[in-house]
Amino acid sequence: MQHFTKAEIRQIDDLYQEFMKVIKAKFDRERVERIEKAFKFSNAAHDGIKRKSGEPFILHPLSVAIIVAKDMGLGATTICASILHDVVEDTEYSISDIKNMFGPRVAVIVDGLTKLSGDFESKQALSLKKILMTLSEDVRVILIKIADRLHNMRTLDSMEPQKKIKIAGETLYLFVPLAHRLGLYAIKSELEELSFKYKHPEEYNRILLMLHNQEEKRNYLVNEFIRPIKEKLESENIESTVTHRLKSTYSIWQKMKTKGVTFNEIYDILAVRIIIKTRQGISEKRQCFDVLSLVTDIYKPHPDRIRDWITMPKANGYESLHVTVMGPQGKWVEVQIRTERMDEVAEYGFAAHYRYKDISTFENELDTWIARIREQLRSQDSDAFEFLDDFKLNLYATEINVFTPNGDMISMPLGSTVVDFAYEIHTDLGNKCIGAKINLKLVPISHVLNNGDQVEILTSEKQVPQLEWLEFATTAKARTKIKNAFKLKKKEHIEKGKEIVEEAMKQVKAPITSNNLKKLISHFNLNNKEQLYSELGMGFLELGNLNEIIGKKSPNKLVKYWNITFSRKKKAEDQNDLSDLKKIDKGKPFLLKENQDNVTYSLAKCCNPIPGDEVIGYIGADDHVIIHKTGCKEVEKLLSSHGNRIITAEWTRFKKQSYLTRLRLEGFDRIGIVNEVTNVISKQNSINMRSVKFDTHEGIFEGDLFLYIHDAEHLNNLISKLEKIRGIENVSRDENLND
Ligand code: MN
């Protein structure tokens, strides 16, 4: 066996000394000796072995043990198990060796860790269940597993790029929610930050840079903000520490993504924390509320932003009082108020109870929680899923269980359709699928499955895979099978399509020149000749008005922007549904015209589109078309359930009519701002006001405007003019016209 160099041995010793400092401060002699023994054994077992990074392997279990001891505050048994956690997996020693040397309690934990290891990669669904099972046996196994992952994330740099992304994804997916549920706030945040850094390095660096650019301004602001609070706390003789922290880059990124806001629009980047040294004789809750009233004497609170997690602690045990107040310079600042004990619980979760020797409460809570998991795992009803949602584990939140007619359970991703299910069971069943019977009701092939559905696939010998199935097939398996079926036939389709073109050209006596083909390709918004032939061959396109297409010049592309055909969404008709969809030609965009004799469409009330908005149509009963904005939430639903009824739509030029639209304004109040806003609007002669409402409170200015507007271009003009008014921070269109 190869031994370590002097420098490596020194490296091990340095870390070991750091570790022993923590241990000796916490434990009695007997425990310290047990831990020393575990280290010596592990160190000898891993002797000469190195990690991918080239460092001695023992540095890994030792670092994990430091996390377990210092950051989680766990006991001697757990610390011993964490030093030994890779021994059985990676060396000659067995579980019975561990049991003989360190007793059954340490051995059980090491055994649990060995069984869990290396398993996350392939079947995540299985491993999560395994984790929860283990969790219900001994939560310490999971705590060590989280510490193990944290150290692996800290040292991820030495991994290959592919592995980095994979491990980071898995961490976000599995370990972050677990750390959250166990209330390990600091560890959860660090895991999130590290995963974000490796998964999205560009975004991570961009946010880091923006935070850095603001640093000076922010430091000034925070000092100005804290000073009067500190003075007041001192004069009231309340012993406390006031700190401040930045929102993590990961949560900034999340907020930008989910709320669609820019970096500058996030108002709670900064949080100030007041940690009160608990006084005897007064309840902790009372002490926190006293400080709250002291803070709100200085700064005005936002009425909707007081959160009391002391009266009603979060599920993971978090207790704190949060209030958002208006600081100097008109910036909102979040203030968190809590006692020292609450702060420890917030940072270290359940493990914090150990530090306060409140082990009885801790174990009671934990026992109840674990008993619940055990029970839920045993019963397979739908409530078990609600329970798992509670964990915020994406995996279960996005999985459903459905059943075959024989009662076999199949797990599918949330959003799976009948065709996904058919392919999940068998390729032939997928290829021949025409629909399904769910709980005895007939449903089309695009139907989205619900948790608990019993699905009987209906087939027809005449059925063949259709390309448009790809629009509602969501599982990788179904999509691959459908695409494969088409690859086999592509040649045939191209041949057939070519014949169709030749025949049609012959009929209108036009030559097959590359120029004419180009006109066809651009008419159908395709990319190339091959695509034209194959789509014709498959019957997705029809050459109805060939003369018109090739006879005239290609359409002028510089017409007003709403006259350009938006992306072509070709939908072949669903066989089951053909009867009432005959009259509308779905190969062409549906034209929206002003003042038609008989109105054949209406504008959806959910998103209230106006001329110029990018829109699509939904063909309802009697060929009546309902027009939605393409980004409307309803459209997403319609696309998955009635994809065959969606057509592209475009506006012809609208002149006369006006449409009611709503704008919301936000900003900082100043004298004359209302005047300026109404001036800007009345100067636009294409726009009329129906009603305007302005409101200011605590320096914040809000406007709610109902306007009559001709089209999106006018509206966008107005918005950019309003945005230029000093004090206005945000102007947005509100699609909801109801109060
Ligand atoms: Mn490990």
C-alpha of residue 146 to centroid of ligand 1, in Å: 10
C-alpha of residue 86 to centroid of ligand 1, in Å: 6
Identify whether 541 is part of a domain: no
C-alpha of residue 370 to centroid of ligand 1, in Å: 25
Identify whether 515 is part of a domain: no
Per-residue pLDDT, 358: 45
Residues 104 and 19 in one domain: yes
C-alpha of residue 175 to centroid of ligand 1, in Å: 14
Rounded-to-integer distance, Cα 633 and Cα 628, Å = 9
Per-residue pLDDT, 12: 94
Angstrom CA distances, 716 to 83, 227, 344, 721, 732, stand at 63, 44, 51, 9, 10
Per-residue pLDDT, 245: 84
C-alpha of residue 368 to centroid of ligand 1, in Å: 29
C-alpha of residue 58 to centroid of ligand 1, in Å: 10
C-alpha of residue 62 to centroid of ligand 1, in Å: 10
Q: Could you give the angle at which helices 95-116 and 29-45 cross, rounded to 10 degrees? A: 80
C-alpha of residue 96 to centroid of ligand 1, in Å: 20
Identify whether 535 is part of a domain: no
C-alpha of residue 1 to centroid of ligand 1, in Å: 21
Identify whether 678 is part of a domain: yes
| Tally of domains within the chain | 5
Q: Measured in whole angstroms, how far is the alpha carbon of residue 103 from the centre of its chain?
A: 44
Rounded-to-integer distance, Cα 612 and Cα 733, Å = 14
Residues 672 and 647 in one domain: no
Residues 184 and 120 in one domain: yes
Residues 165 and 249 in one domain: no
C-alpha of residue 61 to centroid of ligand 1, in Å: 6
Residues 190 and 251 in one domain: no
C-alpha of residue 150 to centroid of ligand 1, in Å: 10
C-alpha of residue 42 to centroid of ligand 1, in Å: 12
User: Of 487, 508, 523, which residue sits at a domain end?
Assistant: 487
**Residue 29 carries which side chain, given as an amino acid letter?**
R
Per-residue pLDDT, 59: 95
Identify whether 69 is part of a domain: yes
In DSSP terms, 443 is beta-bridged to 436
CATH number of residue 689's parent domain: 3.30.70.260
Per-residue pLDDT, 66: 96
Q: What count of Cα atoms within 13 Å lies in the side-chain half-sphere of residue 684?
A: 24
Give counts: helices (H), strands (E), the chain: 29, 19
| Category of 260 on φ-ψ map: left (φ > 0), alpha (ψ -120 to 50) or beta | left
Neighbours of 599 (CB within 10 A): 10
Q: Domain range for residue 275?
A: 207-360
Both tokens of residue 321?
A: 């009082």
Rounded-to-integer distance, Cα 451 and Cα 368, Å = 27
Identify whether 446 is part of a domain: yes
Identify whether 551 is part of a domain: no
Rounded-to-integer distance, Cα 206 and Cα 201, Å = 9
DSSP summary character for residue 629: E
Q: Which residues contact 287 (CB under 8 A, 6 or more apart)?
A: 238, 276, 278, 279, 339
**Residue numbers in the chain where pLDDT is lower than 50:** 119-127, 355-365, 376-377, 379-398, 552-581
Task: Report pTM.
Answer: 0.49
Residues 334 and 473 in one domain: no
Residues 643 and 664 in one domain: no
C-alpha of residue 148 to centroid of ligand 1, in Å: 5
Residues 192 and 55 in one domain: yes
Closest CA to 299 of 264, 274, 319, 269: 274
C-alpha of residue 88 to centroid of ligand 1, in Å: 11
Residues 116 and 193 in one domain: yes
Identify whether 19 is part of a domain: yes
* Helix spans in 117-214 (H): 124-137, 139-154, 161-170, 176-181, 185-199, 201-213
User: Of 423, 456, 487, which residue sits at a domain end?
Assistant: 487
Residues 162 and 288 in one domain: no
